[in-house]
Homo-oligomer: A and B are copies of this chain.
Amino acid sequence: MKILVTTGMPGSGKEEFLKCCITRGAKVVRMGDIVRQKAKEFGLDPSDSSVGTLANEERRRYGNDIWAKRTIPFVGGDLVVIDGTRGLDEIRAFKHAFGEDLKVIAVHSSAKTRFERLKGRARSDAPLTKAEFDQRDRRELDWGLGEAIALADHMVINESTLRELKRRVDALLDEVLGKK
């Protein structure tokens, strides 16, 4: 079993990375789904913003790695990608559970590229401003995302085309799966 944990700033291309992994037969476990499932058990509307509040309350109550610990039972198969980690406490919990079979993959793009991508994705009636973009970066960094990126086992640079990203992810998966 090989387990990859993805990390990266907003707009770096984590979703595209996941898609590339899926075409290679990976199972994707989204930590956000685990949170939403728990919210449902608590009788909350899974689409509601209260889900975020629940996630934070549970972190405060049971520790920063609580959502990692609740994700671990869902990890199984030859190749699993865990999406949605927030920082080093969660990564430590995953490493503790899976040891050397677990690799942290950071997807990196420059802020300029990420802003262009996220602007392209934003609704035309609600365009993304640079201030909103910087705020979102700041929030993610405050979760410890920068540390997770700095300490990643592998870095995937996603600065040009989707085709180039696929080529890089394929090479990375060959290496991780010992096919090269």
Interface set of A (CB-CB < 8 Å, partner B): 9, 108, 110-112, 137, 141, 144-155, 157
Of B9, B110, B144, B148, the residue contacting A154 (CB under 8 A) is B110
Asked if B150 contacts A150 (CB within 8 A), the reply is yes
* CA A152 to CA B141, docked complex, whole Å: 13
With A155-B155, A157-B155 known as contacts, the answer to whether A150 contacts B9 (CB < 8 A) is yes
How far, in whole Å, are A145 and B111 apart by their CA atoms in the complex?
16
Stoichiometry (number of copies): 2
User: Are A141 and B137 touching (Cβ within 8 A)?
Assistant: no
Closest to A103 in B: B110
**Min CB–CB distance A97 → chain B (angstroms):** 18
Q: Which residues of B contact A108 (CB under 8 A)?
A: 150, 152, 155
Q: Are A152 and B9 in contact (CB under 8 A)?
A: no
B152 touches A110 (CB 8 A): yes
Establish whether residues B149 and A111, one from each chain, have CB atoms under 8 Å apart when the complex forms: no
Contact in complex: A145, B153 (CB < 8 Å): no
